[in-house]
Amino acid sequence: MRREKPPTPPKLDGQAEARLIAMRLGEPPKGYGKWTLQLLADQLVKLEVVESICPETVRKTLKKIA
């Protein structure tokens, strides 16, 4: 039986997911050849999209959308 609500609220809402996708499709920061999950997670925190996020959450979000 599925829960009506997850035990913890999602880290990324629709706007944050859109920002993540836009970052992923854009150019990586200077000095990097490509985006990594850790780099995306770090950028989301740096840009204050979220307070904290792990690379696995970034992976799951990108996989869900793809």
17-32 pLDDT, tens digit per residue, is 999 999 999 999 999 9
Q: Is the backbone of residue 44 left (phi > 0), alpha (psi -120 to 50) or beta?
A: alpha
Q: Please report, for the chain, the start and end positions of each structural domain, with discontinuous segments joined by +.
A: 14-65
Mean pLDDT score of the chain, rounded to an integer?
A: 92
Secondary structure letter of residue 47 according to DSSP: T
Q: What is the pLDDT of residue 51?
A: 94
Could you tell me the CA-to-CA distances from 61 to 1, 15, 30, 31 in Å, in that order? 23, 13, 24, 25
- Per-residue confidence in pLDDT tens, the chain, 66 aa: 777 887 888 899 999 999 999 999 999 999 999 999 999 999 999 999 999 999 999 999 999 887
Q: What is the pLDDT of residue 14?
A: 92
